[in-house]
Amino acid sequence: MCAQRKVVLITGASTGIGLAVVKELQKHNLFIIATARKSSLERFRFEGIKESDHLKILPLDVTSDKERKHTIRMISRKWGGVDILINNAGVCYRAVVEHTGLKDEFRQFDINYFAPVRLARLLIPEMRKKRSGKIINISSAAGMMAMPTMGNYSASKFALEGISESLWYELKPWGIHVCLVQPGFINSNACFNVRYTDQSFSSFEKESDPYHFYYTNMSSFVLKMMRLSPVKPEKVAEKIFKIMNQKNPPLRIPVTPDAVLFSWMRRIIPRRIYHYLLYRSLPGIRGWLKKR
């Protein structure tokens, strides 16, 4: 029965876009493998999502090489491999570069870059044999533009965009499609899941800190933009389903109005003017420069 359906593997599926994708795909004739860290599996029950003949829920820490290999081997043995990989698991740290240590920096890249690349690498051999497959990497508008206090997050997404572009060239002759989904501001509670480093949290709390205004202004700005966004995770999930069914989807797909806007701005505005305009548009920028 499963062999007649496309097998879809989704990481970070217990919340946000990943959860919305699971709910969207349940409406269609697909075999879904939803994964999340063991500590997050309870969220599926809270959302009323249960295993069935077309949905399996598996624990997967995407940063664990052992768990990645075990999961892919099991999927290959039981369900004939993965037809569509949706690399959705991600994390965002809010910290200026000066406040980011090696441990936090590596954690950011381990989840946002190394994990999706290594999962794709495990699946590519089987996809090549079938001469078909899709690898859909959930990137971000931050993968085409950077913002203060989110440098390492942007760096991880820039890296994911770069290697996905390379994979697009490498895998296209085999009939395997690589796509980057680029959401911008989404009306969700994701902003409350942002992590702080020890230094960035201390700066956020302490008004006398040189970077205090950076954190307070950017945090309130991001929250405001998310609340004003007309796009919810469910709308992004619908667009991802459409991408899954496109015969020849494009490499990059901005899926929110602001992501579309920034994509066009980068193309038509001279880079020096582009950066100046964004700098002058930063929330409370005059306060950032206030001498303390």
Annotation says 157 is catalytic? yes
- Residue 240's contacts (CB-CB under 8 Å, 6 or more residues apart) are 17, 21, 24, 86, 136, 181, 255
**Cα 71 from Cα 141, distance rounded (Å):** 30
- In the chain, the amino acid numbered 257 is P
Q: Which of 23, 56, 134, 157 is catalytic?
A: 157
* CA atoms of 222 and 186, how far apart (whole Å): 10
Catalytic residue among 153, 196, 214, 215: 153
Residue 208 and residue 285 in contact, taking contact as beta carbons nearer than 8 Å: no
CA separation for the pair 40, 43 (Å, rounded): 6
Per the annotation, the verdict on 52 as an active-site residue is no
Instruction: Look at residues 290, 288, 253, 264 and name the one whose alpha carbon lies nearest to residue 147.
Output: 288
Catalytic residue among 139, 140, 156, 200: 139
Q: Which of 208, 209, 229, 227 has the alpha carbon at shortest distance from 219?
A: 227
Say if residues 71 and 123 touch (Cβ distance below 8 Å). Answer: no
Q: Which residue numbers are catalytic?
A: 14, 139, 153, 157
